[in-house]
Amino acid sequence: MQKFHKSLLILVLICGQSLLAGCSGIREDWDESDEKLTAGIFLDSDERAVLPAGMELRPIYDEGLSVTKFLEGFREMPYNDAARFCTIAYGHLIKRSRCNGNEPEEFRNGISEPKGARLLMTDMERAQIAVLTMTKVPLTDGQYAALCDFVYNVGTGNFKKSSLLSVVNKQQFDRVPSQFRRWAKANGRIIKGLKIRRENEIELFFDGLGVPRAVPEADEDLSPIDIREGEVR
């Protein structure tokens, strides 16, 4: 993890206190509030998947949770994300409408970071179940954590239909980085924060293994994917 932590430190030093508030490139008029997106896990169907009998929920190791916390960023008070949904802490969705002072009392005056961390762990359970039930091959702690972060961000339905899941299940790990990088759009445009997130997920997926540099296959689709629309094959 030393290399991974070093890369995070470099990003922090380059971008300042908020990873997504100071990076340059892509859009000159970029603003952090434009890119604070509702996690796709909250936009899935209300029907929650369950683990098969006898299967236990695999925890996400500390390094993986740290990456998700780092990428989501903590806010103690309710705020409106880019979709104008009322949100708090590490991207926890309070309601699918603007904050107006009528939020549940437990959130109205803000929450502590430890409570926000507990909310995140509960929210991540849907992503964990999706990864456990949809992947068919053994995963390292880093691979599991990276996929959980990805599912938290794009949603379980998008993950289920993704080429990323397909190449993972075929153990074509050399194709994983390019498939991660496709998920960089939201609402029709490339999002800087998503590009940064994908690179962090790639490093986490290959923690201790080294990121492969594969030549794309001739028929491999590498077109950008909008996380709000999902992959069309």
Catalytic (active-site) positions: 72, 81
**Which residue has 């194709």 as its token pair?**
175
Closest CA relative to residue 127, chosen from 192, 54, 72:
72
Q: Say how far apart CA 23 and CA 25 lie, in whole Å.
A: 7
SS3 label, residue 175: helix
**Which residue has 């999706």 as its token pair?**
130
SS3 label, residue 26: coil
Q: Say how far apart CA 98 and CA 94 lie, in whole Å.
A: 10
Which two tokens mark 209?
């293994």
Q: Say how far apart CA 61 and CA 24 lie, in whole Å.
A: 31
75-80 β-sheet, strand order = 75-80, 86-89, 92-95
Distances (CA, A) of 116 to 18, 89, 113: 18, 5, 5
